[in-house]
Structure 1
Amino acid sequence: MSPQQKALVVPHKQGNFELSSRSIPSPGAGQLLVKIQSAALNPVDYKIKDSGSYVTHYPAVLGTDIAGIVEELGEGVENFGKGDRVVAHGKFTNDFTGFQQYTLTAASFTAKIPANESFDSAATVPLGLDTAVVGLYGDQFGAKITPPWEEGSGGHESKKPIVILGGSSSVGSYTIQLARLSGFYPIITTASPSNEELVKGYGATHFFDRSLSGKQLLAAISEVTDDPINLVYDAISLPETQSVAWELLADNGTLVLTLAASVKENEGKGRRVVSTFANPHIPENEELCSSSWAKVEKWISDGTIQPNKYEVLPNGLEGIIGGLERMKLGQVSGTKLVAHPQETQ
């Protein structure tokens, strides 16, 4: 194996992507070296490039959704072997990112890919699923619901309504599936009409057009349930969707956002707004995400969690540049874009 690999880098703060080469890292304790077969794209990737946030060292390699083959095991790694097909949630440190041909992964946030799934479909899971997990179940960055896989959770969310705005987004789709696992009912979601069957396939019980105003949506939901809406997960979190969510939310309810809040909590109704932060590597999320990652292989295998629909980009790592541009322009809906780093010329 060559000690060098190809990588797509941001050469300096807010710089344009360029193809480069960098050393292949060696795994430390609790880590795996993975040859990346598929890397999925996320909006955060172009936002980091454009804003220069999150990243402190340049040239920087981005990408957190990783699927590939285990090449080498670090000290103390159990339950994995060389040649295993794995999926992992990377982090924004160059040796642990996805837009390159080899990366390190933390064993705690790596899972085997079941035989019935491809690298491409598995790569759509990590960030979307972790954002749903932390947003619903996190103490610090979530709604503090008891995870359904914990002993004694006893389906106590059973028959409570939940509203998920943006159900066809990656985060929205995994939130719908976890809401089903937690026993919420009805599971109400919004999306564009072309994605109605998609979100119902994930487990949404009721679908409404995302173009409805807050008042229209509230009226439509009141036809579905008389119960107060104590939990809204806004997977889009633009100011306009946040204001819709705020209109729906009952007194003392929780609004989970994937971006910074533009609505104000101080309306005297005891409502809570939480901007989720789904990095599994930070201390606040480590225990929760370790427990959910221990379930990922089984969830994907038995269909509890369906990966996203995906589209493969051409031209290896270079294809990521155009893919992120399409995402930025709003030209991607209900589909995850996936690149093949090994096909880089």
Structure 2
Amino acid sequence: MSPQQKALILPEKRGDFEVGSRRIPSPGAGQLLVKVQSAALNPIDYKIKDTGAVVTHYPAVLGMDIAGVVEALGEGVQNFRKGDRFFTRFAPVCIGSTLVYRLAHGKRNNDFTAFQQYTLTVASFTAKIPSNESFDSAATIPTGLDTALVGLYGNHYGAGITPPWTKSAAIHESKKPIAILGGSSSVGSYAIQLARLSQFYPIITTASPRNEELVRDYGATHFFDRNLSGKQLLAAIRKVTRGPIRVVYDAISLPETQSVGWELLADNGTLVLTLPASVEEHEGKGRKTIQTFGNPHTPENEELGRNSWARVEKWLSDGTIQPNYYEVLPNGLEGIIGGLERMRLGQVSGTKLVAHPQETQ
């Protein structure tokens, strides 16, 4: 194997991506060297480029979600062997109020990111890919599922719902309504599936009309056009359920969707957001907002993340969780540049974009 690899490099703050070469890292204790077969794109990737936020050292290699093959094992790694297929996530973590882009227990550096042909990861918080799933489908899962899961079940960064693998979970959530705004997004789709697993009913979601069948396949019981106003949506939902909606998950979290979610929310309910709140909690009745942070490696999420990642392979194998629909971008790492621009322009809906780093020319 050549000591060099291809990588998608951001050379400077707010610079332009370019494909270049960098060394292939060696795994340390507890680490795996991964040959990246599929890397999924996330909104944070173009936001880092556009705003210069999060990353502090350049040149930088970005990317959060991968699926690949174990190429080499570091000292002390158990339960993996060379050739295993698995998927994992790299993520920014929160230190105080500051986001720092790094992986789990190590310092942030380009050896631990997705947009390259080989990368390092730690052996924990990964899952093997069951035989019924591809590298591409598996790569769509980590960030979206983690964000949905922490937003619903996290006690610090979420609504604090009892997780579905807890024996008493069904007692808590069965037949309670939930609203998920943006159900065709990656996060929204996993929030719908987890709501189904937690036995919420009805599971109410919004999306564009062309994605109605998609969100119903994920488990939504009631669909409404995302263009309805808060008052229109509230009136429509009252025809479906009179029960108070104590959890609204806004997977989009723009000011206009937050306003809708706030109107839907019952007294003492929680509006889960993926972006900072634009609604004012003092507007009343004990309602609150929570901006979720789905990194399973943070101390507040670690136990929840460990429990959920231990179940992901089975969830995929038995169909409890369905990966996102996806589109494979052409031209390997080069294709990520155009894919991120499409995402920035709002031209991607109901689909996760995936690149194949090994196809880079």
Which bracket does the TM-score occupy, shorter chain normalised? over 0.9
Contact in 2 for aligned 1:155/1:182 (Cα 8 Å): no
Amino acid across the alignment from 1:285: N
C-alpha distance after superposition, 1:298-336 (max 9, x if no partner): 111110000000000000001000000001111111000
* Structure 1 position 281, deviation (Å): 2.2
Structure 2 stretches of 5 or more lacking a match? 92-100, 102-107
Aligned twin of 2:83: 83
1:64-103 → structure 2 map (5 Å cutoff): 64-91=64-91, 92=101, 93=108, 94-103=110-119
Q: Secondary structure at the match of 2:314?
A: helix
Is residue 144–residue 190 contact of structure 2 (8 Å, CA) maintained in 1?
Answer: yes
Pick the aligned partner of 1:188 from 197, 204, 216.
204
Q: Secondary structure of the equivalent of 1:260? A: coil
Give the Cα separation in 1 of the matches to 2:238 and 2:78.
51
Residue of structure 2 equivalent to 1:110: 126
Residue in 1 aligned with 2:219? 203
- Partner secondary structure for residue 134 of structure 1: helix
Who is 2:194 aligned against? 178
In 2, Cα distance between equivalents of 1:289 and 1:26: 26
Q: Which runs of 4+ in 1 moved over 6 A?
A: none
CA deviations 1:82-113 (Å, max 9, x no partner) are: 10011101134322211000111222221100
Given the alignment, which residue of 293, 309, 324 partners 2:325? 309
Matches within 5 A, 1:240-259: 240-259=256-275
Aligned residues: 345
Q: Distance in 2 between matches of 1:110 and 1:24?
A: 21
> Which deviations, in whole Å up to 9, do the C-alpha atoms of 1:25-74 show, x marking residues without a partner?
22223221110000000111100111111111111111111000001122
* Aligned position for 2:98: none
Describe the SS at the equivalent of 1:244: helix
Counterpart for residue 226 of structure 1: 242
Q: Which moved more, 1:303-312 or 1:276-285?
A: 276-285
* Counterpart mapping for 1:283-294 below 5 A: 283-294=299-310
User: Secondary structure of the equivalent of 1:5?
Assistant: strand
- Tell me, in whole angstroms, the C-alpha distance in 1 between the residues paired with 2:21 and 2:135: 23
Q: 1:13 corresponds to which letter in structure 2? A: K
SS at match of 1:292: helix
Q: How far did residue 21 of structure 1 move?
A: 1.4
Letter matched to residue 199 of structure 1 = V
Q: Distance in 2 between matches of 1:289 and 1:28?
A: 23
Partner of 2:169: 153
Aligned to 2:343: 327
Q: Determine the structure 2 residue equivalent to 1:49.
A: 49
Asked if 1:277 corresponds to 2:298, the answer is no
Cα 1:155/1:48, change in 2 over 3 Å: farther
Letter of the 1:171 counterpart: V
User: Is 2:245–2:266's contact at 8 Å kept on the other side of the alignment?
Assistant: yes
Q: 1:264 aligns with which of 263, 269, 280?
A: 280
Structure 2 CA distance, aligned partners of 1:3 and 1:224? 60
What secondary structure does 2:272 align onto?
strand
* Stretch deviating more after TM superposition (36-45 or 266-275): 266-275
Partner of 1:9: 9
Report the CA distance between 1:155 and its aligned residue.
4.4
Q: Name the SS of the counterpart of 2:282 in structure 1.
A: coil
2:157 paired with 1:141: yes
Q: Which residue of 2 aligns with 1:341?
A: 357
Question: For the residues of structure 2 that align with 1:281 and 1:90, how far apart are their CA atoms?
Answer: 10
The amino acid across from 2:175 in the alignment is: K
Deviations 1:250-299 (A, max 9, x none): 11000000111111111231111001111222222222111111111111
Deviations 1:158-207 (A, max 9, x none): 11100000000000000000001111110000000000010000000000
What amino acid maps onto 1:224 in structure 2? V
The sequence identity of aligned pairs, in percent, is: 79
The aligned counterpart of 1:40 is: 40
Q: Is the contact made by 1:10 and 1:58 (CA closer than 8 Å) also made in structure 2?
A: yes
**What is residue 24 of structure 1 aligned with on the other side?**
24
In 1, are the aligned partners of 2:170 and 2:199 still within 8 Å (CA)?
no
SS at match of 1:199: helix
Tell me the secondary structure at the aligned position of residue 301 of structure 2.
helix
Answering whether residue 74 of structure 2 is matched by residue 58 of structure 1, we say no
Q: What amino acid sits opposite 2:307 in the alignment?
A: S
Aligned to 2:313: 297
* Aligned residues of 2:192 and 2:218 also touching (Cα < 8 A): yes
Give the counterpart letter for 2:139 in structure 1: A
Whether the 8 Å CA contact 1:173–1:199 is kept in 2: the answer is yes
Deviates more, 1:70-79 or 1:14-23: 70-79
Aligned AA (2:236): A
Q: Normalising by structure 2, report the TM-score.
A: 0.94
Range that drifts further, 312-321 or 5-14: 5-14
* CA-CA distance at 1:24 after TM superposition: 1.4
User: 1:51, 1:36 → 2: CA distance?
Assistant: 27
TM-score with structure 1 setting the length: 0.98
Structure 1 unmatched runs, 5+: none
RMSD of Structure 2 on Structure 1 (CA): 1.1
Alpha-carbon separation, structure 2, partners of 1:83 and 1:192: 41
Letter in 2 for 1:211: N
Equivalent residues of 1:259, 1:275 under 8 A apart: yes
Letter in 2 for 1:196: E
